[in-house]
């Protein structure tokens, strides 16, 4: 009987912890009302960024072209062939965050921040396996969803928006 009570209390505590985690996640969502579905936008940019990173790794625009305009794809290909590759590291050690800088009925400007955890390579030595970076993504809001219009790492855009 005592074992049954213990199991029930344990299950109740687990459900309580699960409920608190769910409430915390909901409170992390922006409190602002956007003219677009914020959660759908975040899912879109996560997938688009994965394709963007894959395009950098393979030099094949096919992955990113599903998410971006032709102009954005052309600019990316031109960038890839004129500049040294960006080092995005491994997914396991990469931390990515998105902030809405500006928005309207038909557009969103996002600031993407990437940082990397340090990895122990040998005793007493830790390194990052990728570059920390900030990029600005211009996203068009269309009737069929979202489309990347431009990706740049120009800090002038941040000064302009603020």
Gap between the Cα atoms of 106 and 98, Å rounded? 18
Predicted pLDDT at 59:
86
Model confidence, pTM:
0.70
pLDDT per position as a tens digit, 94-151? 888 999 888 888 999 999 988 877 777 778 787 667 777 888 999 999 888 899 999 9
CA atoms within 13 A on the CB side of 158: 11
Sheet hosting strand 133-142, strand order edge to edge: 94-103, 107-116, 133-142, 145-152
138 backbone φψ class: left, alpha, beta (φ>0; ψ -120 to 50): beta
- Which position has the higher pLDDT, 49 or 94? 49
Number of Cβ atoms within 10 Å of the Cβ of 77: 16
**Which domains, from first to last, does the chain contain?**
34-161 (3.10.450)
């Amino acid at each position: 009987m005592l074992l049954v009570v213990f199991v029930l209390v344990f299950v109740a505590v687990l459900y309580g912890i699960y409920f608190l985690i769910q409430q915390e996640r909901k409170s992390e969502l922006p409190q602002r009302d956007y003219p677009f579905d914020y959660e759908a936008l975040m899912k879109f940019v996560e997938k688009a960024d994965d394709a963007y990173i894959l395009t950098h790794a393979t030099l094949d625009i096919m992955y990113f072209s599903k998410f971006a305009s032709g102009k954005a794809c052309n600019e990316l290909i031109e960038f890839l062939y004129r500049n040294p590759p960006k080092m995005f590291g491994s997914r396991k050690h990469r931390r990515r965050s998105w902030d809405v800088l500006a928005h309207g009925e038909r557009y969103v400007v996002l600031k993407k921040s990437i940082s990397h955890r340090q990895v122990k390579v040998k005793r007493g030595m830790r390194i990052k396996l990728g570059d920390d970076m900030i990029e600005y993504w211009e996203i068009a809001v269309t009737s069929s969803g979202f489309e990347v219009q431009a990706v740049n790492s120009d800090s002038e855009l941040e000064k302009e928006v603020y």
